[in-house]
């Protein structure tokens, strides 16, 4: 059984960003909260919206930082310090340009891969040793187009693939908590939304 005590989803606050690809991490945390019928509430001391899920002996906190992407670490570090949560007990969900829509991958540690939210979390926690749930959004093909792409909305078909993937990813979070990283990865990495369309 893996001890995951904090599930973080990355995104940007505000209605103008809610449907944009960069908010894939928010979508996952919102979906996970719905699954357990909890609602995320603003919590100023953690610079975001939080919820708590109790599963047996496990106390799982959910967090969506409301500081904009490049300051994501502020809320993560504040909540982790307050509840004495170690980096290896944190799972961060976020959008990944290097994976196609309809796929997601789990891993532990590593660099920021150019993702500003992850970069700030590593800096604020002083450690890269947290778990990552990377939700594929695809790549626009050229570096110069990335900002517009991540802050844009996906076409309906791609969005449906991402929604399906997030549902599977929620199941993987459960497997990570109930069993281990290997079980969670086996479930998630075998799923491809497009192949079923």
- The proportion of the chain whose per-residue pLDDT surpasses 90, expressed as a percent, equals 92
Judged against a pLDDT cut of 80, whether residue 138 lies above it is answered with yes
Q: Which residues contact 2 (CB under 8 A, 6 or more apart)?
A: 176, 177, 179, 180, 181, 184
C-alpha 60/C-alpha 58 separation (Å) is 6
Q: What is the pTM of this model?
A: 0.96
Q: How many CB atoms lie within 10 A of CB 95?
A: 26
State the pLDDT at residue 196.
Answer: 47
**22 annotated active-site:** yes
- CATH classification for the domain delimited by 6-195, as one of 1.10.730.10, 1.10.10.60, 3.40.50.1470, 2.40.110.10: 3.40.50.1470
Strand order in the sheet with 58-65: 41-43, 48-55, 58-65, 6-9, 90-96, 131-136, 104-108
Sequence length of the chain is: 197
How sure is the predictor about 192, in pLDDT bands with cuts at 50, 70 and 90?
confident
Average confidence score pLDDT of the chain: 94
Condensed to tens digits (0 to 9), the pLDDT of residues 45-62 reads 999 999 999 987 889 999
> If you average pLDDT over residues 24-40, what whole number do you get?
97
Bridge pairing between strands 48-55 and 131-136: unpaired
Residue 36 marked in a binding site: no
Domain boundaries, the chain: 6-195
C-alpha 163/C-alpha 159 separation (Å) is 6
C-alpha 127/C-alpha 77 separation (Å) is 11
Condensed to tens digits (0 to 9), the pLDDT of residues 63-83 reads 999 999 999 999 999 999 999
With beta carbons less than 8 A apart as the criterion, state whether 52 and 81 touch. no
C-alpha 156/C-alpha 158 separation (Å) is 6
Residue 81 marked in a binding site: no
């Amino acid at each position: 059984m893996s001890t995951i005590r904090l599930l973080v989803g990355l995104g940007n606050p505000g209605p103008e960003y809610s449907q944009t690809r960069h908010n894939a991490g928010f979508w996952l945390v919102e979906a996970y909260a719905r699954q357990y019928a909890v609602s995320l509430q603003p919590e100023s001391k953690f610079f975001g919206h939080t919820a708590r899920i109790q599963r047996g002996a496990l106390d799982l906190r959910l967090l969506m930082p409301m500081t904009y992407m490049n300051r994501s670490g502020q809320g993560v570090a504040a909540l982790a310090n307050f509840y004495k949560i170690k980096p290896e007990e944190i799972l961060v969900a976020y959008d990944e340009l290097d994976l196609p829509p309809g796929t997601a991958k789990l891993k532990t540690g590593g660099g920021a891969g150019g993702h500003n939210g992850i970069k700030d979390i590593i800096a604020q926690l002083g450690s890269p040793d947290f778990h990552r749930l990377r939700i594929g959004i695809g790549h626009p093909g050229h570096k110069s187009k990335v900002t517009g792409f991540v802050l844009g909305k996906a076409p309906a078909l791609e969005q449906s693939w991402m929604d399906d993937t997030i549902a599977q990813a929620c199941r993987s979070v459960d497997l990570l908590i109930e069993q281990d990283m290997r079980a969670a990865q086996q479930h998630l990495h075998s799923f491809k939304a497009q192949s079923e369309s």
